[in-house]
Amino acid sequence: MDMALKHLFLSLFVLAQPFISLSNSITVQDKQNPDRESLISFKAVLKNPHLLSSWNQSAHHCNWVGVACQQGRVTSLTLPDMLLDGPIPHSLFSVASLTILDLSSNLFFGDIPLQISSLKSLKQLCLGDNQLSGEIPSQISELTQLKTLKLGPNSFTGKIPPELGKLTQLHTLDLSGNALVGTVPSQLGELTRLQFLDLGSNLLSGSFPATLFDNLPSLTSLDISNNSFSGEIPPEIGNLKNLTDLYIGINSFSGHLPPEIGYLSRLENFFSPSCSITGPLPEEISNLKSLSKLDLSNNPLKCSIPKSIGKLQNLSILNLVYSELNGSIPAELGNCKNLKTLMLSFNSLSGSLPEELSELPLLTFSAEKNQLSGPLPSWLGRWNQMESLLLSSNGFRGEIPPEMGIVRH
């Protein structure tokens, strides 16, 4: 480096020193910052405060792990997956400029303090995967800027507060994996911007309010599985035109799938096992051109497999186990050129295996415990990528074709 460049470099370094010192130094004013004091109080309540070792007196609070600031005020506190253990202290809700609070996947326990309503600027609240309990405070409805509210899984009890319908900016609402009871309040239908709704794995009951299907046009994912919902599936479900994921299994619904289900042209994943729906399956199910995974297992369908399922070109998984199916396996299934898992076990299907299935890229095919008959076809050997083939307890006769020796073990 020549002398002129060296002098220039040294001059720039000297000029930068005040700024470097400013960013790392702690002034008296910084130490008296109310947000800093609130965070120190938060750390003091933890059973394992050493996990926040960077939160020390010598460092500026805006440089602490999980903390983000604007103009010295804390705007984001993100501390997921850190094994933090303790109650959520009231002092945390004095950090008035918070827009993001993420304490998910830790060991926090106890109630959500009512003082949470003080965080008027909050846009994301993520408290899922902890050990929180008690009722969900209705005061959360005062956080009218919220776009994301994730409270599951935890151990919350009581009913879903109808006041949550006031959170009209919400895009994501996750209350899954708790012990919530009662019916779903119709006020949730006021969340017209909602894209993701997960109420799965609770103790919810009653009929699902049809008004939710009328008023949530932006919804892309709906999970109400593993509850005790009853009654028929409302035909208004067909109004959810943007839905890609639908999980309604393990409930106590009755009646048929409504033909309006065929309006869900963007649906990719439809899981409806063990929810007491009956057949026949509507022909409109063939309109679900985007469908990749369909699970209707453990339902008393008592019908045949509709030939129209063969129109589902994107289908990769079809599970109809324990569904009281009768009739034959339709040859039209051979048109599902992306089908890799076909599960038809424990039904009353009869007839022979259609050769059209031989062209499928199947990895798993189960049809055990049916009434299938005829010789085992030699074309079974074409499934050279097969990982699981279950055909026992049927009426097949003859020898195992030698071509099956090609099937990969």
269 part of a folded domain:
no
Domain assignment present for residue 33? The answer is: no
Q: Give percent helix, percent strand, percent coil of the chain, each to the nearest 5.
A: 30, 25, 50
Residue 364 lies in a domain: yes
Residue bearing tokens 């071509």: 403
The CATH number of the domain holding residue 382 is 3.80.10.10
Q: What is the pLDDT of residues 215-248, one digit of tens each?
A: 999 999 999 999 999 999 999 999 999 999 999 9
DSSP state of 287: G
Average of per-residue pLDDT across 91-108: 97
Q: Among 318, 368, 313, which residue's Cα sits nearest to residue 336? A: 313
How many domains are there within the chain?
Answer: 1
Tell me, rounded to whole angstroms, the distance of Cα 165 from its chain centroid.
21
Residues 6 or more apart whose CB falls under 8 angstroms from that of 246 comprise 222, 264, 267, 269, 270, 271, 272
Is 56 domain-assigned?
A: no
- The answer, yes or no, to whether residue 370 has pLDDT greater than 70, is yes
The more confidently predicted of residues 33 and 90 is 90
In a domain, 143, yes or no: no
Residue 296 burial (CB count, 10 A): 24
Find tokens 């990528």 and name the residue. Answer: 385
Range of the domain at 384: 324-333+345-409
Joined together, the tokens standing for residue 214 give 């009328």
300 closest CA partner among 329, 328, 333, 272: 272
Residue 360 lies in a domain: yes
Question: Within a domain: residue 170?
Answer: no
How confident is the model over 319-343, as a mean pLDDT? 98
User: Could you give the CA distance from residue 89 to residue 116 in angstroms, rounded to a whole number?
Assistant: 10
- For the chain, what is the total number of helices (H) and then of strands (E)? 4, 26
Residue 358 within a domain: yes
With 0-12 / 13-18 / 19 or more C-beta atoms within 10 angstroms meaning exposed / middle / buried, residue 111 is middle
Could you report the per-residue pLDDT of 188-209, keeping only the tens digit for each? Answer: 999 999 999 999 999 999 999 9
